[in-house]
A and B are shown apart, each in its own frame.
Chain A
Amino acid sequence: MSIPLSWFLVLAAALFSIGLFGVLARKNAVAILLGIELMLNAVNINLVAFWRYGNIAEISGQVFAVIVFAVAAAEVAVGLALIISVYRRRNTVVANDLDLMKW
């Protein structure tokens, strides 16, 4: 066990921050979705890392990670479908232009 836990956590935090930045800063909705995926996978790294450095017999960390994958996959499917639908209607995928919810 040469690599300490904190490295994984730093990596996960970095990845999460990149994802968050992507979510907050990118204009393209597909890119925002990508950011979300990054954030979800940062969490997954954390989950797996905590499991590996915790009680290995307990597999709940892995199970959680699998569930997050599955959820992420479903989310992507729905999200992309939404984006395509929006694109067909509005001919754009720029998040700022989609302001129908404005007061």
Chain B
Amino acid sequence: MATETLTWLLPLPPLLAFFFIILFTNKRKALSHSLAVGAAALSWLGSMVVFVRALGVEEFGHEVFESVVDWLPTGDKFFQVGVLIDPLSAAALFFVAWTVLMIFVYSIGYHNFGQPKGDHDVPGLPPHGATVLDGKGKKKHVLSIEPMYSRFFAFIGLFAFGMYTLVVSNNLLTLFVGWEIMGLCSYLLIGFWYGKPSARNAAVKAFITTRIGDVFMLLGIAFLYSATGTLSFREIFTEETMHVLATTPAFFGLSAAGMIGLLLFIGTVGKSAQWPLHVWLPDAMEGPTPVSAMIHAATMVSAGVYASLRMFPLLTADFTGHGLTPAMSVVAFIGAFTAIFAATIAVAQNDIKRVLAYSTISQLGFMIAALGIGAYVAAAFHLVTHAFFKALLFLGSGSVIHGMEHGVLHTGNHRLDPQDMFNMGGLRRKMPVTFWTFLIGGFALSGFPLVTAGFWSKDEILADAFGHGHWAVFITLAVAAFLTAFYTMRQITLTFLGKPRTKEAEHAHETPLTMTVPLVVLAVFAVGYGWVGIPEHFPLLGGLIPNWFHEFVGGTLLERPEAVAFSIWPLLTSLGVALGGLGLGYLAYRNVQSAAQDKLQIPFLKNKYYFDEAYNFLFVRPAAWFSEVFVSKWIDKGLIDGILHAFGWIAGKLGFIFRTYFDAPVVNGFGDLVGEGTKKAGSAIRPLQAGRVQYYMVVSLSVALVVAVLYFVLA
């Protein structure tokens, strides 16, 4: 099959799976997950074929796989949509295909396939466990299957369709379509357990917060289309178009390119949960863990960075390599600030998934900061490695929670929070596969030197910041990297090392194969993927394996970016912060037994700098006031209803007047007069009808006589 045709087909299987599950197989759990996983596997296979073929093309940046069709007639031309595989999308396709497939498989185990139905499980709430009789007739509590099992697979199928659409798009419009489909799925899946008020609120919060970014993004798309007349990447990023955009002045002293880039970047800020729109991501952890892993760590939030990578030429228009453009400064500031800001919050969180959520925000900040300083390849590299190790970490945390739920069912203490790290401890013995893979993921996240992928990608960002003299960014990111290593080690120490702190942790249990196999596969990438991007001039290791990633992805741009010159200082910094953070994290939390002993439980950090409260005060409450008091009470009930009530009152009054002064006297009076008159006339002449025949005769004769007499007299 031609590669272009294959690319068109990539997003389709998950979409078909979605429709099939929704329409036909909703009641059949095994068939539903087979369909979904089968579809993901098909897309995965197609993606790998496309990826391998892309590898085989020399100078792939120029010779891309692209295919377009006419879609919307726009005057005498057509708006064209199509698919495009260039180095960037090939790299994205690779990690999307792998993480999506792994997470689909993992979901089977996570939602307890093969377990009995729960005793009192209801759709909309997480399963509570079932009671079964074991061989000896003794009652036993086991995990129970998710009541809305098929629905979950349908939703993640639709999500996968959105992600594939976004990656293979050759233009901003279909990219945006995929982007919004993912937004919808994010909403649906965060609110998957809609019986929980917190999940409902989190879903609404995520949807509205990302919507703010999306509105700006749509504005950017509209601006771009009106400025260039096309939304296709390869048509925009030609030298002439870019030159025109870069020289057209827009608002606030920015060029059109910078303005459009910033508007599109705000979309990324929403989607990738950058400060100040980061608030939705931690709450999104209310969803099932595979959702957290796929949507809120590996793919959807990465899509934000991916879109920014796509728009990189717009953001960096006018960039000569010395001194950042205003647009780039904004991006670099937001990225770097978010990186350190989220890292400081992560240090004080106790929920195993929340730590990872803030870590995700922080790592996305790294990528955005890298973009802001023009380190295109480094940002893309970190995007891919982060997708792998963060998906791994989330799946690992899901596995831990699952294991803890085993313990909870064993002791029957349902009030214990299975996600609180202070309730864990010593899980390395109980859950060895989860422990080792989580350790690999955690070390990759911390940037453990040489072996892990996270080290190479993070080091490249730091080296780039150092190499181009962006000191503020360099120092901020270095501190953030230190904090990253610190909270990661804190998490590992609290969760897996030491002794179990609760009975539940003692009875935790390793999770089934469907969950551990994806962990192992992702762990392989969390280590191995770093090796494709080792800088050439790295001491000892450099040059052993060619710096493939840089050559490959760098080819996406018109001008292949220069690899930054090697310097020992950023390398030493990387080594220092990673090892220092890990070591300090271990030392500090080795003996901590409860949250009370944790010195970093500072209310200010624990409450996330009170951002939720501030937003609540600044935006939510005024909006609620505006809708409840101003719109509802004053405008709707007061003004609009008032006008209607006034009309009603006037009509009532008019009616009363008509009734009293016209209807009752005139109309009724006339009617009554006719009736009454007839009645009166009747009773007046009633005596005539005496019933005596002779009397009638006398009367009629008299009348005849009178008439006759009158006739004669008058005649």
Contacts and interface: CB of A to CB of B under 8 A. Distances in A.
B694 A102 contact: no
Interface stretch (A59-67, A70-78, A93-101): A93-101
Interface string A79-103: 0000000000000000110111111
B689 interface: yes
A103 B690 CA distance: 7
Question: For the complex, would chain B's binding face be called helix, strand, loop or mixed by DSSP majority?
Answer: helix
Contact of A99 (B686, B691, B701): B691
Nearest to A96: B692
B149 to A, nearest CB: 88
A99 B692 CA distance: 6
A96 B694 contact: yes
A24 B689 contact: no
B596 interface: no
B689 A103 contact: yes
A101 B691 contact: yes
A100 B691 contact: yes
Contacts of B701: 24
B686 A24 contact: no
A23 B691 contact: no
Interface residues of A, number: 12
B692 A23 contact: no
A16 B689 CA distance: 27
Contacts of A98: 691, 693
Nearest to B696: A101
Contacts of A32: 694
Interface string B660-682: 00000000000000000000000
B690 A99 contact: yes
A80 to B, nearest CB: 16
B698 interface: yes
Contacts of B690: 99, 102
Contacts of B684: none
B23 interface: no
Nearest to A25: B694
A24 B694 contact: yes
A79 to B, nearest CB: 12
Contacts of A103: 686, 689, 691
Interface in B76-134: none
B697 A95 contact: no
B689 A101 contact: yes
A24 B705 CA distance: 15
A102 B698 CA distance: 16
B678 to A, nearest CB: 15
A96 B698 CA distance: 13
A24 B698 contact: yes
Nearest to A27: B694
Contact of B697 (A24, A96, A99): A24
B693 A95 contact: yes
Contacts of A24: 694, 697-698, 701
Nearest to B697: A24
A25 B693 CA distance: 11
B670 to A, nearest CB: 28
Contacts of A23: 694, 697
B387 to A, nearest CB: 106
Nearest to A100: B691
A34 to B, nearest CB: 14
Contacts of A95: 692-694
Nearest to B688: A103
23 contacts: A23-B697, A24-B697, A24-B698, A24-B701, A25-B694, A32-B694, A95-B692, A95-B693, A95-B694, A96-B692, A96-B694, A98-B693, A99-B690, A99-B691, A99-B692, A100-B691, A101-B689, A101-B691, A102-B690, A102-B692, A103-B686, A103-B689, A103-B691
Given A25-B694, A96-B694, 11 more contacts: A23-B694, A24-B697, A95-B693, A95-B694, A96-B692, A99-B692, A101-B691, A102-B690, A102-B691, A103-B686, A103-B691
Top 4 A-B residue pairs of the complex, sorted by shortest distance between their CB atoms: A102-B691, A99-B691, A103-B689, A101-B691
